A and B are shown apart, each in its own frame.
Chain A
Amino acid sequence: MNATLWIAVNVFRESVRDKVLYNLVVFAILMMGASYLIGQLTAGQDIKIIKDLGLAAIAVFGLFIAVFIGIQLVSKEVERRSIYSMLAKPIRRPQLVLGKYLGLVLTLAVNVGVMVAAFYAVLAYMRWTAPPAVLDALDGPALDPRMLKAVVLIFGQLAIVTAIALFFSTFSSPILSASFTLGIYVAGHFSADLRNFDQVIDSAVAQAVARGLYWVLPNLASFDVKAQVVHAVPVPNGYVALTLGYGAAYVAALLTLAAVIFSRRDFK
């Protein structure tokens, strides 16, 4: 367990050295710039739009980190040949996979945490400067804590995407891994269509394939409650808990598969 945590901390340190956290500066500039520009454009809807933009930006920035760092987690070690020195230490391969995963999840957690703080800071400023009538017209309070439910689910979604990227990273090249991960990310948002495939096609085989894909592919659309929280539509805690539970199980399956594949790889 100590070895796993040691690897995780090192992945985090390496991401800091690689200036991954610089994206937070970009995020802050985006939020501040948008809060000024959008106020001129949106006829009193600036707070609503900043909520939409902030939550979407957290998801997008996190997605880029998860994909473009996740696909290099293992392949970079192989490319640099540092994998040999790592495997020479008393570390089991599944520990390496798990440590790498936890390290990137920690990086994401820090990123998302800081982005959320900046997001609420911008909203606090907008709330302070907004006329009372504009605040009254909002569906929910400007600093609605219920938006954190969307953030938690975005983080859950990013944890799945990280596991997908890491899974492909254990046996594929970075370019292919990125393509596969982004492909699954897109497909994961169409899972409802796969579920309802039987309504548009008669072939029993096609229906079975679609149904199978629905269960196998990650249902990422269920992690998206951004619209609900912005409009203050209730998102039950039970829904959040079950969705996170689904995500945890899916991540566990992917990491197990990644560990099996990685354990069988021959680096000689």
Chain B
Amino acid sequence: MTSGRSLAGGIALILVVMGVAIAIERFRDGTYRLAEPPQDALSVTSNTAVGRLSLGFRVLNADLYWIRALQYYGGVQRAHHEGRRSNEAGPEYGSLFSFLDLATSLDPLFNIAYRFGAIFLSEPAPAGPGRPDLAIQLLNKGLAARPDKWEYMQDIGFVHYWWNHDYKAAAEAFEKASQIPNAPWWLRSLAASTLARGGDRRSSRIMWTVLAQSSDNDWLRNSAARSLLQLDALDAIDALQKVVATHRERAGVPLTWQGLIRAGALRSIPADPTGTAYDLTPDGKVRLGAASSLAPLPQEPPAAPAS
């Protein structure tokens, strides 16, 4: 009985003291907010050094660097969404490639680190560092480790197509991917259509549809689905631009969506596939709404015809 009471008393004391500690911590955090100095996301940048320090735990260390890459990428993106600069020394996303390079050096078979990494690296600001060259470098590293992975060569083609607008290089990459054993049959036709109609929004749609349907990963599928929505938005903007141009020629008045609705040109304020209203600038240009999750839209070559 006595020992039971002393145990209960001990547990109660622990709870009280822990409660006091948490209360003090909360009070301190609410009262004093110290500015954090900019810091380097990476403390060790040598693949060799990290590999040696890992002893028999290289792949686990690769996982940790992969998680750090995701947190780092997400952290910089979140800082952008919140309208502040990330707490990082040096250029934004400047350490992203190093994280991915370390993860894939420690585990050269880390499939998703190559594929996601290439997407992260290719995205232009503010969604990414806008470094398709590093994306291709990472994918080539993956191919050196796994020459049987036609997906990496396909991804190289995507980067050339979508971000470099180098349709010849994209077609070559798709062609090379199609020659890798077990590659799907449609890569060869993708190579041909890319060469014939490079930059065409229709061929872009074919590519993203293929990726959305063939990818074995939710994130890649979602990324492809988002790109398809971006293409829908581009189509809608082109159509709206024609409406605006027609109305402007007829009426020649300062343009607003309400004005176009009153004139019978539109039934309601047009919205993109995510439901965010398009913006109409005073000089008559239709743009994606600032709050749209589809922003930024991909840049198309000047000569690309709308589908």
Contact = CB atoms under 8 A, between A and B. Distances in A.
Q: Is the interface of B mostly helix, strand, loop or mixed?
A: helix
A133 interface: yes
B221 A52 contact: no
A64 B161 CA distance: 52
A64 to B, nearest CB: 14
Contacts of B67: 38, 41-42, 49
Contacts of A49: 63, 66-67
Interface string A53-74: 1001001100000000000000
Contacts of A133: 216-218, 221
B252 to A, nearest CB: 52
B218 A56 contact: no
A231 interface: yes
A73 B190 CA distance: 67
Interface residues of B, number: 23
B112 A189 contact: no
B59 A226 contact: yes
Given A41-B67, A56-B60, A186 B111 contact: no
Interface string B44-70: 000000001001111110110011001
A45 interface: yes
Interface string A130-149: 01011011010000000000
A230 interface: yes
Contacts of B107: 227
B116 interface: yes
A44 interface: yes
A41 B71 contact: yes
Given A44-B112, A133-B221, A137-B112, A227 B71 contact: no
B277 interface: no
A42 B66 CA distance: 8
Interface of A: 38, 41-45, 48-49, 52-53, 56, 59-60, 131, 133-134, 136-137, 139, 157, 186, 189-190, 220-221, 223-224, 226-227, 230-231, 233
Interface of B: 52, 55-60, 62-63, 66-67, 70-71, 107, 109, 111-112, 116, 216-219, 221
21 contacts: A38-B67, A41-B67, A41-B71, A42-B67, A43-B112, A43-B116, A44-B217, A49-B67, A53-B63, A56-B60, A133-B216, A133-B218, A133-B221, A139-B111, A220-B56, A223-B56, A224-B56, A226-B59, A227-B59, A227-B107, A230-B59
